[in-house]
Structure 1
Amino acid sequence: MAYLKIGIIGGSGMDDPRLMQNIKVKKVKTPYGNPSSPLTLGKINGIDIVILARHGKKHSIYPTGVNFRANIHALKREGCTHI
């Protein structure tokens, strides 16, 4: 089976700690600036997952202020095979 690592750009509710096991939080920087939030890494049913809060951890980023390039770059650099 091919390696799978899923990146999820989530909204509210994606920060529920009951969603994943083995949770780690990682701050990253990209050539495009900072992503909207630190990356939350963990596993769901044995699958590696990376969650990024699109509007920031405190929902403080308006849709027009989301740094999409930095978000995608951060997930790609973390090794996500699917977003």
Structure 2
Amino acid sequence: YAIGGNDTAARLAGININKYLIAVYALIGTVAAVAGILLTARTGSGQPVSGSEGLELKAITAAALGGAALKGGKGGIGGTLLAV
């Protein structure tokens, strides 16, 4: 929450921002790879747009309805799961 709200304040508070950003990007990459494998298994094809067109708006809507602030710093997984 601190990094998403104000990274300068988080850095001044002593939080190692680079360590957390690298960890979050690695986690996002892993989750994206798993999602790609699942999408390929579902559609039986390796096309870049097969079966995934229009899911971006649905993902943003679920996050917004779940209570996540679109500017960052606030939100949680529980509300997003309920919104989905």
Q: TM-score range by the shorter chain?
A: under 0.3
- The structure in which a higher percent of residues are helix is 2
Quick one: higher RCO (CA 8 Å, sep 6+), 1 or 2?
1
- The structure in which a higher percent of residues are strand is 1
When Rg is computed on C-alpha atoms for both structures, the one with the higher figure is 2
Normalising by the residue count of structure 1, what TM-score does the alignment of the two structures yield? 0.27
